[in-house]
A and B are shown apart, each in its own frame.
Chain A
Amino acid sequence: MKWWPVRGITRHLTEKSSYELDSSVKPMNNIFKRSLHIYMIDVGNSNLLNFELKALQSTQYNTHRFGIYFSDSPRHSDLLIVLGKPTEKMITPLMNTIKQMPEPFGILIVEEDEVFDLKLPNVVGRLKNPEPSEILGTLLKIMGRN
């Protein structure tokens, strides 16, 4: 038997043991305390962030218990999560998507190493290379639950 599975079980290798929430993240609106619907748009990342977001819906993180759901249309969503730095062709679809969001809405920017400088409206927070638990914590803070 090799030793490294034991190490993997005993230690959190894929996850930071602790993280600090960015102080710039503010609760969005009181009305989202119990439920938040999210539309996610991938505007150009290395697929890494997609995996992190996908993990949120797995049994390990189970965001549904907090009332956080992913929807299929920006017209049904409260929060838009923008993944990565927009490529040239994705800028128009991103802007079109923002136009479709119903008021009140927020935008959470999740970046990789490259930071982008587009002036988007209603930005409620920025995350850089986050872990799933960090994203979950941010979402809860946006909802005003902690």
Chain B
Amino acid sequence: MIFAYIALLLYTLGIVLSFKRENSYILSAIGSVFATIAGIVGTFYPFELGRIGLLPHVYMSMGVTHTSGIFMTVAAIAWIAISIYSIDYGKFYSKDMGVWLNLSILGMMIILMAKDGLTFITGWEIMTASSYLLILKHKGSFKEAFEFLAFGELSTVGLIIAFASLFLKNGNFSFTQNSGTVLFLIASTFAFIVKMGIFPFHTWLIGAHAKAPSNVSALLSAPLTLMGVYGIFMALSIMPDLHLYNFEWWGLLAVAFGAMSAFWGALQAVATKQLKALPAYSTIENNGMILAAIGISLIAAGDPSLTILSEFAITTALLLVISHTFSKSLLFLSVGHAKEALDEDNIDDLRGAWSSVGRIPALGILLSGLSFSAFPPLIGFVGEWALLESFFQSYKFQSLAARLVTTFSGIFIALAIGMAAFSMIKLAGYTALGYDHGKKAKKMRSIFMRISESFLMVLVLGFGIFAPFVVRYFGYSQFTSGLFGVPSPFLMISSIPIFGVVSPTFFAIVASVLFLFPLAFYLARRHGVRRVNSWNGGLPLEKNEYFSAPAYSAILEIVLKKIYITREKHLNGEAHIEVVDIVNVFYDALKKSVLKVESVLSSTLMNGNINAYVAYIFAIFVVIFLIAG
């Protein structure tokens, strides 16, 4: 309990002592360490932080439960990495960035500890507003920041409706067992999936993540969308009677939207050419997979004989949460490091980061890319294995609708996982492992950036190898076992009786032993290897003669012409292939029509003519007078 107080105090101190840049970042890093401890303590021994009464029946209270403890641990570890990274990275931006970073983290902490609607919405607004100001720190990002704010407030509207319905039913805002209503579930789910960037509410995420400073991108992508996931967990935990077939429709919708979102995110990630838009689309994909796993768990929760599948799907969602939070923070931080050092915006222009920027950021991009490509034994592999296992078990469902939806969604999820690997090869292969451009990196102090990236790399690898212990930490020790000569608890099982098994620990051991032979061979023969450039008739390769990143994905863009709306554009004598995110077309049309209505209204109603204005006020007064009277 004391740790949570210390964490809150340190974040506040970080806001106050922001006259020196390092202060606020160091304080938020230390505060996040305490938040991690508070999360771990709260997971095992849930505690209360007390309550403040505002009105009769209306009070604000905070505390940590088992679920929020898990989420706080995961989020706080990402906060540590982001804060440490910001000690170096924050120097490129003004001093108030530290204030907003601390405030944003404080808001998230309040959300995670909220025990009632008022506290929750307070934290939500603090987080949204300060994140908006953080995005604005990057020059020329006003449009994207405003889009972020618009969608953030859209989710706040959903939350207000949800908590109002909570108040109508119970007479207070507190999150207690069986207090939820159907309207609460619908409205809050809407609010949370907007925050998670689920298709078709994902457009704000791309612009905001691509334009924001890199530490802010990591904060937005991993912990901020995590708040949406936590919100769904929280909303479901206070719904009554999950064990009747009441909420199968919710599960079906979640699976369908999640699978669609995963597919769409992966599809657009393949085609994107912008450096930070690719991880942003990958965020959409991962959040879609998390939502689908929650949906599976809710469908299974309706059937008393499928409790184990329901629990496994929850474990899956939590594993995916960990995988996404750590790997995506690592990806954004490493990409941001390389981007800042080389001052480039496209994937193609960042080639040779391995030799020009450094080994650690390049390895960070590579490792997180491998994790998202489900490369064993990294944490991403464990999460995606569990997700596919959950989908394979959907044959156990009784209703036809559930079977059909999960089968077709499973196809989309599998496609998404495959295409995620395709897009991550594009990102890691061209930036970290690509041919060197020979471009010199900008000199800057990067020791804390390197520390933070190495810290996350160890976590991505370590949590993957020791995934069975992570599952035990979640409290689902029934899914770890020992079989086939693997000692307990190093084997993960996906159902009881056993359906599928995997042991990342032993995979790592076996693979590393098998890897020793090629390694020894390589080390023995290494000195005889001569490295030369590609043969180009004796001439050096020009920049446009390399096999570029757009060329890598062009094949898919041309084959799936109908989905991407691929067009060839000619610019300065060069031809480019351009793709469109079709959802953006809709939002652009909406934006245009709103602007048009606005301009018409401003020219007719509020045109600066004093007579018209007085008449307008008078008319409104009369209308209100009539209605009120």
Residues of A participating in the B interface, judged by any CB pair closer than 8 Å: 41, 73-75, 92-94, 96-97, 99-100, 103
Q: Which 9 A-B pairs have the closest CB atoms?
A: A93-B538, A96-B538, A97-B538, A99-B532, A100-B535, A100-B532, A75-B535, A73-B535, A93-B539
Q: Give the most central of A41, A99, A103: most B CB within 10 Å.
A: A99
Chain A residue nearest in CB terms to B536: A96
Which residue numbers of B lie inside 8 Å of A, CB to CB?
530, 532-533, 535, 537-540
Q: How far is the CA of A93 from the CA of B539 in the complex (A)?
A: 6
Instruction: Name the CB-closest residue of B to A99.
Output: B532
Q: Which residues of B contact A75 (CB under 8 A)?
A: 535
Please give 11 more A-B residue pairs, beta carbons under 8 A apart, in addition to A94-B538, A96-B539, A100-B532.
A73-B535, A74-B535, A75-B535, A92-B538, A93-B537, A93-B538, A93-B539, A96-B533, A96-B538, A96-B540, A103-B530
Contacts of A94 in B (CB 8 A): 538
What is the minimal beta-carbon distance from A124 to any residue of chain B, in angstroms? 20
Identify the closest chain B residue to A92 (Cβ): B538
Residues of A within 8 A of B539 (CB): 93, 96
CA distance A100 to B535 in the complex (A): 7
CA distance A99 to B535 in the complex (A): 10
Q: Which residues of B contact A93 (CB under 8 A)?
A: 537-539
Main secondary structure of the interface of A (DSSP, over half): helix
What separation, in Å, do the CA atoms of A103 and B533 have in the docked complex? 16
Q: List 8 A-B contacts (CB under 8 A).
A: A74-B535, A93-B537, A93-B538, A93-B539, A96-B538, A97-B538, A100-B532, A103-B530
The CA of A93 and the CA of B530, in the complex, are separated in Å by: 18
Q: Per DSSP, are chain B's interface residues mostly helix, strand or loop, or mixed?
A: loop
Contacts of B537 in A (CB 8 A): 93
User: Which residues of the other chain, B, contact A73 by a CB distance below 8 angstroms?
Assistant: 535
Residues from chain B with a CB closer than 8 A to the CB of A41 are 538
Q: How far is the CA of A94 from the CA of B539 in the complex (A)?
A: 9
For A92, list chain B residues within 8 Å (CB).
538
Closest to A90 in B: B538
Most buried by A among B535, B537, B538: B538
Q: Min CB distance, A118 to chain B, in Å?
A: 15
Least Cβ distance of A54 to chain B in Å? 19
- Contact partners of B530 in chain A: CB under 8 A: 103
**Measured between alpha carbons, how far is A73 from B538 in the docked complex, in Å?**
10
Q: CA–CA, A92 to B538, complex, Å? A: 7
Considering the chains assembled together, what is the distance between the CA atoms of A73 and B532 in angstroms? 14
Bound complex: CA of A145 vs CA of B538, how far in Å?
A: 32
Within the assembled complex, what's the spacing in Å between the Cα atoms of A74 and B530?
15
Residues of B within 8 A of A100 (CB): 532, 535
Residues of B within 8 A of A74 (CB): 535
Q: Tell me how far the C-beta of A112 lies from the nearest C-beta in chain B, rounded to whole angstroms.
A: 21
Nearest chain A CB to B217 CB, angstrom units: 41
A68 CB, nearest partner CB in chain B, Å: 22
CB of A74 to closest CB in B, whole Å:
7
Quote the shortest CB–CB distance from B157 to chain A (angstroms). Answer: 64
- Identify the closest chain B residue to A43 (Cβ): B538
CB closest residue in chain B, given A102: B530
Bound-complex Cα distance A75 to B537 (A): 11
Q: How distant is the Cα of A78 from the Cα of B532 in the complex, in angstroms?
A: 17
The complex places the Cα of A92 from the Cα of B533 at a distance, in Å, of 13
Q: In the complex, what's the smallest C-beta–C-beta distance from A88 to chain B, in angstroms?
A: 14
What's the minimum C-beta distance from A94 to chain B, rounded to whole angstroms?
Answer: 7
B257 to chain A, nearest CB (A): 53
Name the distance in Å between A120's Cβ and chain B's nearest Cβ.
Answer: 14
CB of A90 to closest CB in B, whole Å: 8
Q: Tell which of B530, B535, B540 has the most Cβ of chain A within 10 Å.
A: B535
**In the assembly, what is the distance between CA of A99 and CA of B530, in Å?**
9
Minimum distance in angstroms from A98 CB to a CB of chain B: 10
Closest to A98 in B: B538
Residues of A within 8 A of B535 (CB): 73-75, 100
User: Roughly how many angstroms separate A100 CA and B539 CA in the complex, as a whole number?
Assistant: 12
Query: Measured between alpha carbons, how far is A41 from B539 in the docked complex, in Å?
Result: 13
Nearest CB of chain B from residue A82's CB, rounded to whole Å: 12
Q: In the complex the two chains form, what is the Cα distance from A80 to B463 in whole Å?
A: 55
A74 CA to B532 CA in the complex, in Å? 12
CA–CA, A96 to B538, complex, Å? Answer: 5
A101 to chain B, nearest CB (A): 10
CB distance from A99 to the nearest CB of B (A): 5
Per the bound structure, the CA–CA distance linking A103 and B527 in Å amounts to 14
**Complexed CA–CA distance, A100 and B537 (Å):** 10
Q: Which residues of chain B come closer than 8 Å to A97, judged between CB atoms?
A: 538
**Residue of B with least CB distance to A96:** B538
Give B536 Cβ to nearest chain A Cβ, in Å: 8
Chain B residues near A103 (CB-CB < 8 A): 530
Query: B526 CB to closest chain A CB, in angstroms?
Result: 16
A41 to B535, CA, bound (A): 14
A70 to B537, CA, bound (A): 16
Residue of A nearest to B528 (CB): A103
How many angstroms between the C-alpha atoms of A96 and B530 in the bound complex? Answer: 13
| Distance in angstroms between the alpha carbons of A107 and B36 in the assembled complex | 67
Residue of A with least CB distance to B535: A100
| Complex-state Cα separation, A19 to B502, whole angstroms | 76
- Complex Cα distance, B530 from A100, in Å, reads 9
- Bound CA span A84–B530, Å: 28
Q: How far is the CA of A38 from the CA of B533 in the complex (A)?
A: 21
A97 to B533, CA, bound (A): 10
Nearest opposing residue in chain A for B534, CB measure: A100
Closest A residue to B532 using CB positions? A99
How far apart are the CA atoms of A75 and B540 in the complex, in Å?
16
Shortest distance between the CB of B307 and any CB in chain A (Å)? 63
Q: A55 to nearest B CB, angstroms?
A: 24
Minimal Cβ-Cβ distance residue in A for B539: A93
User: Most B CB atoms within 10 A — which of A41, A73, A92, A96?
Assistant: A96
Q: How far is the CA of A92 from the CA of B535 in the complex (A)?
A: 13
Residues of chain B contacted by A99 (CB below 8 angstroms) = 532
Give min CB distance, B539 to chain A, whole Å. Answer: 6
A residues near B532, Cβ cutoff 8 Å: 99-100
- Please name all residues of chain A whose beta carbon is closer than 8 Å to the beta carbon of B538 when the two chains form the complex: 41, 92-94, 96-97
Q: How far is the CB of A121 from chain B (nearest CB, A)?
A: 13
Q: How far is the CA of A26 from the CA of B539 in the complex (A)?
A: 31
Cα(A53)–Cα(B119), bound, Å: 88
Q: How far is the CA of A94 from the CA of B530 in the complex (A)?
A: 18
